[in-house]
Structure 1
């Protein structure tokens, strides 16, 4: 089995995330559009071999049950959270992750998928994202510092193993858009920002435990197993923004175990039982969120041909 191409490599400089509900588009119509997307991708890879073109197609649990007669263990829909802050859930049918070193390639692949079906689907989001400076979030802090860096480690973190059978090398996906209140954020001095995040801003060095607040972002999002080993997820998040103030982060993570995401979110939003929430939520707002499954290349091909 082979993982879909966007998952294991390091992120490219540009990405588009397309989130849709089928509405009037039939499943056969969806398959036709996805085939057009993949065919265009393969052609562009041949024509532009240095463009780092990669894709992933993932499906929500309701649609997956209509596409295939088996479901990977642990696949479910994200549950909303009503804690210190509210985390909404906006279920969707399909999440398409397009990445490239060139933004025009991302646009071309988006067009290949959407051509002729604009009136048949509900586009919940089409987010144009980019690598910001040296891999930083719009807050100015380096993003994804906790990501595993080596291919084997990234695969171990993100992909279902051989024990998953036909679902091996597939991956669960969590996607959620966060809007940033940068005006409010910029009113904080750098040392105060560092206490919100839990790292230094310039060098991205984690603060010592005796300095790092319990409600710092990384203190709430780092989880461990019973032996004290960190349970990682593979982040591909990228910023987005414009001059009108619509700016933030499209958070996307691939994982072999959705309970890791569940635990992180409960700790962030203040419902894990210790009464603490992530202080970063005073400056960023979750606008949506959902779970998906990205099958292996071979299983995706089987689904599209079925």
Structure 2
């Protein structure tokens, strides 16, 4: 498959780094292309690899990467390629209690590095280049928390694929050859009522998550009735095959403003896998028994993008 080797180390920076290791810092930037801004957006996207080289040169060990995604609304005009087979706008999911909303966004820039100043400088140059061709819909700065824990205190991304399994889980293959090497991306920004979560006992929190808090050991699945988040977020098809996704979630927040959250970002070979995950969480399995984590995690945004391979992204500049 073409595109960034998802299990290789990042040396001096890279584009479309679908499986790059979690870094200390990240920015999730979502923007809408304004009328007349397509040509500028295309040019900037096609030049991202050069911008990465210029910024990463200051510290090649910072592992700077930027993965760019394009939404369905602007894909035909911007990419000038057929629509990826499963690409479409984010589909809201409405359950009896909770709803996953759809929000604006044509472009996604997932910027990662070990150093916050490297992330900042790359984003500054990116935003300057885009200028008034876009409107920024959301800009969220994330950070790695301890041993990859979210602000609820649990290890995040435990079920991520590893090594060569990442390519199988994340990268489109021969089923859509024009877009082979690319990946579907879903983003959601969640906020947490930390006081309410902290009021639960550790055992109650573990029952919601399906894992122990201290040592991240998986608990047994409930045979019937209410299922844990771990179970509802595991997708198995009709043939019994499990479908993993790559989660690059990061905590964010402002304690002084009472803001505590998790930015969910998932890469997948198939968009339907992430859609089914949301349906199991918000509607429930069986329906009516929603993921109890949603009682403590409120989604504010929801967007879908397709991240083309590094070669396809570079080709936009031609």
TM-score by length of 2: 0.90
Q: Are 1:47 and 2:48 matched, yes or no? A: no
Residues 136-180 of structure 1 deviation map (CA, whole Å, 9 limit, x = unaligned): 010000000110121x10111000113422211000100110011
SS of alignment partner, residue 162 of structure 1: coil
Residue 168, structure 1, aligned to residue 187, structure 2: no
- Is 1:148 the counterpart of 2:149 in the alignment? no
Structure 1: tracts of 5 or more residues without a match: none
Q: Could you say which residue in structure 2 is the equivalent of 1:77? A: 89
| Pairwise CA distance, 1:119 | 4.8
Aligned length: 304
Q: Which residue of 1 aligns with 2:211?
A: 199
Q: Offset of 1:290 from its aligned partner?
A: 1.2
Describe the SS at the equivalent of 1:97.
strand
1:280–1:212 CA distance, 2 compared to 1 (3 A): farther
Give the Å deviation of 1:35.
Answer: 5.0
- Asked if 2 retains the 8 angstrom alpha-carbon contact of 1:78 and 1:289, the reply is yes
Distance (Å, rounded) in 2 between the aligned partners of 1:166 and 1:228: 28
Q: Distance between the aligned counterparts of 1:272 and 1:261, measured in 2?
A: 15
- Residue 285 of structure 1 pairs with residue 298 of structure 2: yes
CA distance in 2: counterparts of 1:281 and 1:249, whole angstroms: 12
Change (3 A) 1:5 1:32: closer
1:139 alignment partner, one of 152, 160, 175: 152
1:97 is the counterpart of 2:131: no
Greater Cα shift, 161-170 or 91-100: 161-170
* 1:26-41 aligned within 5 A: 26-35=37-46, 37-41=48-52
The answer to whether the 8 A contact 2:16-2:68 is kept is no
TM superposition score normalised by structure 1: 0.93
Q: Secondary structure at the match of 2:147?
A: coil
2:281 paired residue among 245, 268, 282:
268
Distance 1:37 1:302 in 2: 11
Q: How much is the aligned-residue C-alpha RMSD, in angstroms?
A: 1.9
Structure 2 gaps of 5+ residues are 5-14
Do residues 65 (structure 1) and 76 (structure 2) align? yes
* Structure 1: 4+ residue segments shifted above 2 A: 3-6, 31-40, 44-47, 116-121, 209-215, 226-229, 271-275
Equivalent of residue 187 in structure 1, options 196, 199, 213: 199
1-structure distance, mates of 2:36, 2:118: 25
What is the Cα deviation at residue 87 of structure 1?
1.1
Secondary structure at the aligned position of 2:169 is classed as helix
Aligned equivalents of 1:287, 1:254: Cα separation in 2:
19
User: How far apart are residue 30 of structure 1 and its match?
Assistant: 1.6
The partner residue of 2:250 within 235, 238, 253 is 238
Whole-angstrom distance in 1 between the partners of 2:129 and 2:83? 31
